[in-house]
Amino acid sequence: MSDEDDLRDLEDLELQFVPVSIQQLARAVTQVESCEKCNPDAEIPFDWILRAFADAKDYVDYILPAPRLCPKCRAEIHEKTLVQPIAPPMRRTGFKCHSANMQAGDEATTEG
């Protein structure tokens, strides 16, 4: 993003700047596996993860109280740093996958 783009953002009357609390930031970082410095496949901007923990969800830019550190390489993570989220845990309760018997287009069965 260029300086010119940053200035245009400041002039956008609909854009809100939302401060993120230390607690919200700490929770968001727990969802990060790695960052663009240590993982070339990282492609999710950190502010997308912040959205799940922040109060405002409209057209916003988040303001961090301080950068956090990547859990893998300890590089600083800022609002627009590309990150790799941790893999969501598989839901095991009541879920059976009969993959050996499944054909293309079949769905796994759930028991409830």
DSSP string over 84-106: EEPPPPPP-TTEE--GGG--TT-
What is the percent of the chain with per-residue pLDDT over 70, rounded to a whole number? 68
Supply 84's token pair.
């790799």
Please tell me the predicted confidence (pLDDT) of residue 101.
Answer: 42
C-alpha torsion angle, residues 44, 46, 51, 57 (rounded to 10):
-90
pTM: 0.67
Of the pLDDT bands very low, low, confident and very high (cuts 50, 70, 90), residue 75 is very high
Please state the separation of Cα 10 from the chain's center in Å. 24
